[in-house]
Homo-oligomer: A and B are copies of this chain.
Amino acid sequence: MDTTIFEQHESEIRGYCRAYPTVFASASNARQVDEEGTSYIDFFAGAGVLNFGHNNPAMKEAMIDFLQADGVAHSLDTYTTTKRDFIAKFHEVILAPRGMNHKMQFMGPTGSNAIEAALKLARLATGRREVVAFSHGFHGMTLGSLAATANQAFRQWAGVPLTDVVRLPFETAPGGSTGIADYRAALQDPSSGVTPPAAFLVEPVQAEGGVNVASREWLHEIQDLAREVGALFIIDDIQAAVGRTGGYFSFDGMDLDPDIIALAKGLGGFGTPIAMTLNKPEVDAHWSPGAHTGTFRGQGLSFVAGTVALDYFTDEAFLADVLAKGETMREALEAIAAKHSERGWEVRGRGMMQALDTGDGAFAKRIQQECFERGLLVGPCGSGGRVIKLIPPLTIPEEDLRDGLGLLAQAIDAAAGAP
């Protein structure tokens, strides 16, 4: 396992490689194999990107066909047949059935860029400056999205004040139950020092923030307040959408009506970059052509694989399977928490994003290490990395899922010093 090249020539900023000290050579569905032939079950899925597994066969085939046919791989925002197919199918499979007529906007292919675009549009549409974001929220690392990100572990490196964001507690944080009501009262009080925001930006399920799940009621409270004060209601569904929580969107079935939805990660299906916002037409109308540009907006391979990915959502059995596997994951975590009940761990999640909050970042890191040694890849999240988040590919074979959960239980026992 030769990592010298990385140590000599790659930046000190590299991170995940320190937790997974090996060199991966290939990957297939929920398995990654390193160059020595060791196979790992992947419960991390590229930080929530690989919902359809590594090297999904149907996507791979479509991509190879596209390459062989000299498809337009890079197109800025010119029209291509491939992009048209994606847009048409996204509308047909996702938007139309939900009665949504949002416009699709493509930008630089990162979730952070989708948030930057959404915030620009909200400020443009309202003529206001401040945006409400929530504690434990994660929205990206560029200055505009980082200002909305809550975790000081990320914010501390900005080097400039992070401004123009008002912070409220997420529903599950201290003060969360009264936060929206208190903020409404402040907005109604001309001497509160608080003025109406351009938008409320919220993740229905905070992934990076520690797998915190908002209720339908609380999300409606936000949406209602946004409507009252003329602000936009923006949902960041970058990690929780594309089937992860059992619906295409994490807020499916909640009867919400967001003005802007930000997507990225799983949208391209195969792990190649893409980002998109869905903007209500009346909001989108505030854009002028080219107001937010970006070189890599038109990615043929991502459109091709992303189009294949949409097939999963025409098959009712797929999301049922996600929910069933999610239940399996949940039960396994509940059993682990019960076994170590004296430690007061909490299990949280929805669909195939399930997590164990150990309350202790150092301990969670030990779990991660014990997992790795047993051939299981997991990633910590939340404050200080104290939450073990499980986000395997949605397509993970039942057997890999059960094996992985077994390895996890063993690893936790080992980390906890249990017999």
Contacts and interface: CB of A to CB of B under 8 A. Distances in A.
A382 B71 CA distance: 30
B10 A105 contact: yes
A299 B32 CA distance: 15
A407 interface: no
A87 B9 contact: yes
A193 B27 contact: no
Interface string A49-91: 1100011000010011001111111111111110110011011
A123 interface: yes
A151 B159 CA distance: 24
A408 to B, nearest CB: 19
Contact of A295 (B25, B47, B95, B167): B47
A35 B69 CA distance: 13
Nearest first, the 7 closest Cβ-Cβ pairs linking A and B are A123-B159, A74-B271, A174-B185, A150-B193, A175-B182, A143-B144, A11-B105
Interface residues of A, number: 149
A107 B140 CA distance: 12
Given A87-B6, A144-B142, A152 B104 contact: no
A173 B194 CA distance: 13
Contacts of A175: 178, 181-182, 185-186
A26 B79 contact: no
Q: Give this chain's copy count.
A: 4
A72 B27 contact: yes
Contact of A13 (B49, B123, B129, B290): B290
A155 B319 CA distance: 43
Contact of A73 (B75, B271, B285, B288): B271
A23 B86 CA distance: 14
Given A74-B272, A153-B190, A169-B186, 8 more contacts: A10-B105, A11-B103, A23-B81, A63-B67, A119-B159, A120-B159, A178-B182, A272-B272
Interface of A: 2-3, 5-6, 8-18, 20-28, 32, 35, 46-50, 54-55, 60, 63-64, 67-81, 83-84, 87-88, 90-91, 95, 103-113, 116, 119-120, 122-124, 129, 133-137, 141-145, 147, 149-155, 157-161, 163-165, 167, 169, 173-175, 178-179, 181-182, 185-186, 189-195, 198, 209-210, 264-265, 270-273, 277, 279, 284-285, 287-296, 299-301, 382-384
A125 to B, nearest CB: 9
Contacts of A264: 295
Contacts of A147: 143
